[in-house]
Structure 1
Amino acid sequence: MSKVALGLSLAGIRGDAATLAAVARRAEESGYDSVWTNEAWGNDAFTPLGVIAAVTSRLGLGTAIAQIPARTPATTAMTALTLQQLSGGRLTLGLGASGPQVVEGWHGVPFRQPVRMTSEYLAVLRKALAAKERLEFAGSIYTIPYAGADATGQGRPLRSTMPPAPGTPILVAAMGPKNVAMTVAEADGLLPYLWSPTRWSAAWGETLAKAPAGFQVAPTVLACVGDDLDKCRDQVRPRIALHIGGMGSKKTNFYAALVSRYGYEAEASHIQDLFLSGDRAGACAAVPDELVDDLALVGPLERIADQLAAWRDGPVTTMIIEPADLSMLEPIASLW
């Protein structure tokens, strides 16, 4: 498994700074290459990385993901430059467009066309991180300095006062075909969720074949270690059901669309119908064993070791493991 790095998702891990620091130290000591934070409409993705940077020395720090509509490109650049300075350059910046329910319902800004928005965001972000010149950009979504009808006219191009970090890897959580194609062309890597090591080429293959050398593919992978295979499956089923059924509307749900492209169209539609009707227990029960086994690492450690063979043969460069509980942190690391 030497070609695939091991990451740890901190999704769902809550607590004070001491708790977070202890988890980060355990991850570093047991051999994880990186830890990854996320955000939806609760905690933010960046603040925990400052704590982790202070108590670790080699562990990579990643956001999987930080929401593009939540911050201007310049704000993300300032945050990334600060974390790169504090951590000695260990940050990988993972970004995503999120969806209309969160963008408009929580952030209170319009949900814009994801491909164009992400492309422009990346362009502005790279200029700001390079800090070679004053920041100027004229796009259909972002214009810097701002020149809208309500502008004061006093804005002027500025250049960051922080040390530049042009080599900061930028990964994008794209799932739709057009957004993945843009990511392959303009970003440093892809951050998929609900990745299938056996069916990925049905959804991603043609586009990923065009990826340049060094392009990263870093899926977040649900994992549950235990002797009882059925219980392990049941522990990860709610996460799968939530994304397929509840992370979006019936009209716009990128996770359901992805699973449908894998060949589970009927199952995805049924899970959505149950979840959106309020029957979450039914939605979880509707996630078939085959789909769980395809998307997650579940069961005894020896079985998981066998499952990993399928991941070795694909384009994955980092597996970001999201364990069902922290007792599984070291056993999973032992497989590496």
Structure 2
Amino acid sequence: MTVPLDGIPLAEHAAIYAALDRAGFTDVWSSEVNGADAFTPLALAAAWQPRLRLGTAITPVFTRGPGLLAMSAAALADAAPGRFALGIGASSPVVVGNWNAVPFEEPFRRTRDVLRFLRAALAGETVDEEYDTFAVRRFTLDRKPAVPPPVLLAALRPGMLRLAGAEADGVILNWLAATDVPRALAEVGERRPGFEVVARIFVCPTEDAVHARALGRRLITSYLTVAAYAEFHRWLGREEVLGPMWRAWAAGDRRGAGAAVPDDVVDALVLHGSPEHCREQVRRYADAGVDVPVLALLPTPELAAGGAAALGDLITRLGGGGSR
């Protein structure tokens, strides 16, 4: 499950983490956009639920210096030995440039360089290296983690997918349909032992299809109009079906852009239906090669009306009732 859950204070997530564990969820994965940072929700989970595995999906490679990123990862690996995976990625010009005042330059090379630095630093090596996009002078972790965390790479298109396959411990996929997974993994190439495929999957567990599709269209027009995601979906072959949305968005017609997204595209990218039906749809990702399907829970009318009791029931049904 993606954490933290929207609308619930972090201080109240102890009950959420306990419910996820009881329901059969094995992992909690954070993100880092403009809400909570990637590490704090996982640090709480490490303390509150010692069985849950923890992961970041993702921590941007631009918004922390290399040394600080290594220290944050090492600290969480120290707090949860063998239970933490560090997911990194380029993020976007909005997050990096507009919100963090860092130039978003050469994202592929920066990501590659940070990946190489982290692999060395988290293994306890002294890093004294001139990379293409930055230099590090004699950095050594004072608290080397007993179990260095695996480093996974968020990837969309062929170059980053190949980098993940060649140098990372896994790949993190996002904003794709189950039917898109084989194409992405073909670029990753032969998977080494222990290499993991993680995918974030948007789930709106309601049988109110009008609500789910309206929310899905808002998300799709927010995300898939960003250049990296637009090029990703062009590469996946959606130029014809998403072209009208892109053209309307470029013309400043936000309402028209949403209306131009076909139902079948929404249904493929934002799963909806009963919790049990959503679980069946998530299995399609696993069948296609995803090792760790990470649900991103979206708001529903039932959750809005039912409060904590409805959320607890939903977590149980999504998790299969405790099949951990």
- TM class, shorter-length: 0.7 to 0.9
Q: Which moved more, 1:135-144 or 1:223-232?
A: 223-232
Distance 2:280 2:104 in 1: 42
Match of 1:221 among 192, 196, 201: 201
Letter in 2 for 1:63: T
**Residue of structure 2 equivalent to 1:142:** 134
Distance 2:88 2:146 in 1: 17
Query: Sequence identity, in percent?
Result: 32
Letter in 2 for 1:125: L
CA contact 2:28–2:53 (8 Å) conserved in 1: yes
CA contact 1:229–1:299 (8 Å) conserved in 2: yes
Answer yes or no: is 1:184 the counterpart of 2:165: yes
Map 1:258-297 → 2, pairs under 5 A: 258-297=232-271
**Residue of structure 1 equivalent to 2:192:** 212
Distance change >3 Å, CA 309–CA 108, structure 1 → 2:
closer
Distance change >3 Å, CA 77–CA 42, structure 1 → 2:
same
Letter in 2 for 1:188: D
Answer yes or no: is 1:329 the counterpart of 2:315: yes
Distance change >3 Å, CA 303–CA 54, structure 1 → 2:
closer
Distance 2:193 2:203 in 1: 29
SS at match of 1:263: coil
Map 1:1-336 → 2, pairs under 5 A: 8-10=1-3, 13-131=6-124, 133-145=125-137, 157-165=138-146, 167-202=148-183, 204-245=184-225, 248=226, 253-325=227-299, 327=311, 328-334=314-320
Size of the alignment, in residue pairs? Answer: 310
- CA RMSD after TM alignment: 2.2
Q: Name the TM-score, length of structure 2 as normaliser.
A: 0.87
CA contact 1:297–1:304 (8 Å) conserved in 2: yes
Q: Which moved more, 1:263-272 or 1:120-129?
A: 263-272
Letter in 2 for 1:213: P
Distance change >3 Å, CA 199–CA 144, structure 1 → 2:
closer
| 1:322 positional shift | 0.9
CA contact 1:14–1:20 (8 Å) conserved in 2: no
Q: Name the TM-score, length of structure 1 as normaliser.
A: 0.84
Q: Which moved more, 1:302-311 or 1:119-128?
A: 302-311
**Residue of structure 2 equivalent to 1:4:** none
CA contact 1:24–1:52 (8 Å) conserved in 2: yes
SS at match of 2:152: strand
Structure 1 unaligned spans of 5+: 1-7, 146-156
Distance 2:247 2:94 in 1: 17
SS at match of 2:257: helix
CA contact 1:189–1:216 (8 Å) conserved in 2: yes
Q: Deviations over 1:82-122 (max 9, x none)?
A: 11122233211111101223322222222222222111111
CA contact 1:60–1:91 (8 Å) conserved in 2: yes
